[in-house]
Structure 1
Amino acid sequence: MYRLIFILFTVFFATTVHAQTKRFQFSAQKMGSPFGIILYAPDSSSAAQMAHDCYRLVDSLVLIFSDYIDSSELNRLCAQSGSGTAFKASPALFAILLRSKQAYELSGGNFDITLGPLTHLWRKARKSKEWPHPDSVASRLALTGSQFMILDAKTREVNLLKQGMQLDLGGIAQGYIAQQVLDLCRQQGFHDVLIDVSGDIAVSGKPPGKEGWNIAINMPGSKQDLQPKHLLLTDRSVTTSGDVYQYFLYDGKKYSHIIDPRTGYGITRQVNVTILANDCTNADWLTKACSLLPFRKARQLANSLGAELLVTELKNGKLRARYTKGLSNYWSK
């Protein structure tokens, strides 16, 4: 996820508010992007300790989930693909794989973490600026499909049936980690908190004296221009997917980093998809699935999970916005 959502504040430094709490802000480079924490605490010592515990949790999960770290648990699992040998997953890895498999089924296959062979191919293509041969795309597409990832909930065992399968949690892990960090803060008694994982945002409570957290969203295709309406959120999560930062220009078309599981190629619509959900994990993967679905089906999928959907698209130079009915309850006044 890349920064397509902005947090708006009229004050950017710690200020004293009611109930003798102060605003503290922390940022650290995690997963290749800024990981921000804003929380209200009675003193700097307790705030700093909470932030330290949060980042320690992030580091522990990254070592499990990352496909960039050769020794990660995820990559050790993938190394056994096609061997016929079950892999005993840790509780954390099994939990996110189970959520991912459920997302695959709920989305009709439009969200699929087994696209790893293709995401690796397109990462190299964007870096080298060389369009991959169609045969390379087809051969990697043949290695995908979450129906070939078998999970045993009783034993936490995982079987990847095809040799060469590679899992990529990039479409769900940031939201999952943001939610885990928010839950940790709540457990430790911090209730007015915002977690920002490069645009995957999870909030608890609200800044004291405010009606909620004020969130702005990018215009499609723009890094700086913001949509005129802002969101006002409490105890919700929001994330946006688009093609501002990762894409491939080829033969006059702009291919997004969001890959269509049916073709192996990135989608070409210039569209931003924003999801509001009770859980940041759902918000994260829903943006990917809904980017591939027609609006009517995307709306049905979001509504089935109690989420709200906003789709903004540039078509022939004109901005078009479509959204679920309940989203109007979250516009800032």
Structure 2
Amino acid sequence: MKRNPLIVTIFTLLFGIFASAQVQETKTTNLMGSVFQITIVDKDSSAAHEKIEKAINEIERIENLISEWRPQTQISNVNNSAGISAVKVDSEVVAITQKGLYFSEITKGAFDLSIVAMDRIWKFDGTMTELPSKREIRKSIAKVNYKNIFLDSKNSTIFLTEKGMKMGFGSIGKGYAADKARTLMQALGVKSGMINAAGDIATWGTQMDGEPWRIGVNNPFETGETIEILEFSSDKAVTTSGNYEKFAEIKGKRYSHIINPKTGIPSTDLTSVTIIGKSAEMCNGFSTSIMVLGRKKGIKLMRKNPEYHYIILTNDGKVIKNF
């Protein structure tokens, strides 16, 4: 029996159209106390919406493990048992704690998971007109010391050795959640997407039209302007830490909401630090650390980690980058 070549051609054309059909869907929602935006490219809207909900569930699962604000979480249990006893935690909590302690070690305490115990003597709502006293500052950091976080990875326990200590993951938790949501989406067969965890961004693949994901690095000195447009077409991540959204200005000097855990004094050396690499968790750790370390020590740190790139914006508007 002879085939009709016209029918075969039409069938092949239609099959090609249906096989390549895709949608790009985005959902914005509040998670971990911040605004998250989840974008994925999938075969149809129904499938995309279902997978986005799974990404949201994954982020909520993480928050229910590591939030120091929710009373039922493992980290809240660790904080409530400070100076009393070690607390059994999941291996996942051990792993993220190890990452936080890693940053503490390589920055010699410029990054510290226990900074959440610091007394709230700084206000970044425009009401501060004078610096806190030296006594207030010393008192505020009395319970801050990452060396008093005892992590027993073999037995999967965490013990804060002093009463009144607290630990938390505000500096790397959202980046970690972005990484985990990306990993889940990839495991579910989603070929491309972007997880924007309140500015901690993880991408994979390209946009639906094949164009790379484009992310602008804000220029706080020029409203609506950017200092760099980043283009990602693979597994990439980017985070920015800065002093231009939350700060206190006292006697003409700007004090960032990012505080040095060792001194109790906010960072003042840089306006923003953007880090680009594969892991949003790692990028966030580096960007926060460099805001505290300052330009020279920060660049020295990044030279030891060449797989991560930086865009540093100084207080006089100078842009320093290594890519």
TM-score range, shorter chain: 0.7 to 0.9
Taking the TM superposition and a 5 Å limit, the aligned residue runs for 1:5-84 are 19-83=20-84
> Does the 8 A contact of 1:17 with 1:208 survive in 2?
no
Percent identity (aligned): 23
Aligned residue number for residue 271 of structure 1: 271
- Does 1:226 pair with 2:225? yes
Q: Pick the aligned partner of 1:129 from 127, 130, 148.
A: 127
In 2, Cα distance between equivalents of 1:220 and 1:179: 27
- Does 1:320 pair with 2:318? yes
In 2, Cα distance between equivalents of 1:244 and 1:294: 16
Taking the TM superposition and a 5 Å limit, the aligned residue runs for 1:230-245 are 230-233=229-232, 234-245=234-245
> Does the 8 A contact of 2:23 with 2:208 survive in 1?
no
Aligned residue number for residue 298 of structure 1: 298
Shift in alpha-carbon separation, 1:112–1:59, aligned structure 2, 3 A: same
Cα distance, 1:267 vs structure 2: 1.1
In 2, Cα distance between equivalents of 1:88 and 1:122: 32
In 2, Cα distance between equivalents of 1:18 and 1:146: 53
In 2, Cα distance between equivalents of 1:162 and 1:17: 62
Does the residue aligned with 1:126 lie in a helix, a strand or coil? Answer: coil
Aligned residue number for residue 283 of structure 1: 283
In 2, Cα distance between equivalents of 1:30 and 1:294: 30
Higher relative contact order (CA 8 A, sep 6+): 1
> Does the 8 A contact of 1:220 with 1:270 survive in 2?
no
- Output one character per residue of 1:1-56: Cα deviation in whole Å (capped at 9) or x when no partner: xxxxxxxxxxxxxxx99822111111111122211111100011111111111111
Shift in alpha-carbon separation, 1:132–1:76, aligned structure 2, 3 A: farther
Does the residue aligned with 2:318 lie in a helix, a strand or coil? Answer: strand
Taking the TM superposition and a 5 Å limit, the aligned residue runs for 1:68-147 are 68-83=69-84, 85-118=85-118, 121-122=120-121, 125-126=123-124, 129=127, 132-147=132-147
Could you tell me which amino acid in structure 2 is paired with residue 152 of structure 1? D
In 2, Cα distance between equivalents of 1:66 and 1:81: 16
In 2, Cα distance between equivalents of 1:295 and 1:237: 22
In 1, Cα distance between equivalents of 2:18 and 2:220: 36
Please, what is the CA RMSD of the aligned residues?
2.2
In 2, Cα distance between equivalents of 1:146 and 1:302: 22
Cα distance, 1:301 vs structure 2: 2.3
The structure number with the bigger radius of gyration is 2
Does the residue aligned with 1:78 lie in a helix, a strand or coil? Answer: helix
In 1, Cα distance between equivalents of 2:136 and 2:74: 27
- Does 1:307 pair with 2:311? no
Aligned residue number for residue 207 of structure 1: 207
Does the residue aligned with 2:310 lie in a helix, a strand or coil? Answer: strand
Could you tell me which amino acid in structure 1 is paired with residue 158 of structure 2? V
Does the residue aligned with 2:101 lie in a helix, a strand or coil? Answer: helix
In 2, Cα distance between equivalents of 1:206 and 1:99: 29
Could you tell me which amino acid in structure 1 is paired with residue 43 of structure 2? P
Cα distance, 1:62 vs structure 2: 1.2
In 1, Cα distance between equivalents of 2:69 and 2:135: 25
In 1, Cα distance between equivalents of 2:178 and 2:59: 9
In 2, Cα distance between equivalents of 1:323 and 1:158: 38
> Does the 8 A contact of 1:220 with 1:242 survive in 2?
no
> TM-score with structure 1 length normalisation?
0.84
Could you tell me which amino acid in structure 2 is paired with residue 99 of structure 1? K
Shift in alpha-carbon separation, 1:228–1:251, aligned structure 2, 3 A: closer
Does the residue aligned with 2:124 lie in a helix, a strand or coil? Answer: helix
- Output one character per residue of 1:129-159: Cα deviation in whole Å (capped at 9) or x when no partner: 3564432321231211111111111111111
> Does the 8 A contact of 2:201 with 2:280 survive in 1?
yes
Could you tell me which amino acid in structure 1 is paired with residue 120 of structure 2? L
Aligned residue number for residue 251 of structure 1: 251
Shift in alpha-carbon separation, 1:127–1:164, aligned structure 2, 3 A: farther
Q: Which runs of 5+ in 1 are unaligned?
A: 1-15, 328-333
Moved more, 129-138 or 58-67: 129-138
- Output one character per residue of 1:65-110: Cα deviation in whole Å (capped at 9) or x when no partner: 2222233321221111112x21111223222111101111122222
In 2, Cα distance between equivalents of 1:35 and 1:258: 21
Could you tell me which amino acid in structure 1 is paired with residue 59 of structure 2? V
**How many residues are matched?**
303
Moved more, 137-146 or 44-53: 137-146
> Does the 8 A contact of 2:90 with 2:156 survive in 1?
yes
Cα distance, 1:221 vs structure 2: 5.4
